[in-house]
């Protein structure tokens, strides 16, 4: 993500709109405005802004001239914060963007904890923390890369079709014998912490 893209997306409402389109699929300004409690005209303006910066696109062949459908662009956006920390023109946008991302992650965890789930889904989810690691910067980077590969492998299996090629599936374990699939959010938070004498 370059500086122009960062400034284009770094707005609380814009990031909430993009989150909804990524999680729940295409929607209109009217639908998004209703879900967000915002004026349709305001949402439309932010949708056009997101489209201008390549984060979303219009879903052609759907809707009317008055009611356009929008969807998130299926491309990964990677942000290297080191590029912007010392740039006064983007530092504010970077701070807002990172804050909103962390807040979105927090809100998803809170939603999961407060929602009513069947026992099999409640038992399958986890909130985990390991605090007894001591790593070098290289080891921490390697840990994150390895965990990302694990998620990528499961994502590829999920995209191959329901029950096809998913880890743990065997000929005896057919899609009909597995629980109904649901969208799943994977959150990984790994970072160094200062020790007591450093704070």
- Domain limits at 166? 135-174+184-192
CA distances (Å), origin 152, targets 122, 129, 149, 158: 23, 21, 5, 10
Sheet containing 68-72, strands listed edge to edge, beginning at the edge strand earlier in sequence: 27-28, 68-72, 56-63
Domains: count for the chain: 2
Residue where one domain finishes, among candidates 44, 64, 81: 81
Q: Write the secondary structure of 159-177 as one string of H (helix), E (strand) and C (coil).
A: HCCCCCCCCCCCCCCCHHH
**pLDDT tens by residue, the chain, 199 residues:** 888 899 999 999 999 999 999 999 999 999 999 999 999 999 999 999 999 999 999 998 887 778 899 999 988 778 887 778 788 888 889 999 999 999 999 999 999 999 999 999 999 999 999 999 999 999 999 999 999 999 999 999 888 865 444 444 433 333 443 557 899 999 988 989 998 899 8
In-domain check, residue 15: yes
């Amino acid at each position: 993500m370059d500086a122009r893209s960062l400034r284009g997306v770094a707005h609380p409402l814009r990031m909430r709109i993009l989150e909804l389109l990524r999680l729940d699929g295409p929607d209109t300004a009217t639908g998004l405005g209703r879900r967000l409690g915002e004026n349709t005209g305001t949402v439309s303006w932010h949708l056009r802004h997101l489209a201008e910066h390549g984060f979303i696109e219009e879903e052609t062949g759907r809707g009317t001239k008055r009611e356009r459908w929008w969807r998130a662009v299926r491309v990964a956006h990677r942000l290297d914060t080191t590029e912007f920390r010392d740039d006064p023109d983007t530092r504010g946008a970077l701070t807002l963007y990172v804050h909103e991302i962390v807040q979105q992650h927090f809100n998803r965890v809170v939603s999961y904890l407060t929602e009513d789930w069947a026992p099999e889904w409640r038992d399958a989810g986890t909130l985990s923390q390991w605090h007894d690691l001591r790593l070098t910067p290289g080891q921490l980077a390697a840990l994150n890369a390895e965990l990302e590969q694990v998620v990528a492998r499961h994502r590829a299996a999920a995209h191959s079709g329901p029950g096809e090629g998913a880890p743990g599936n065997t000929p005896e374990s057919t899609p009909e014998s597995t629980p109904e699939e649901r969208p799943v959010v994977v959150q990984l938070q790994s970072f160094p912490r200062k020790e007591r004498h450093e704070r």
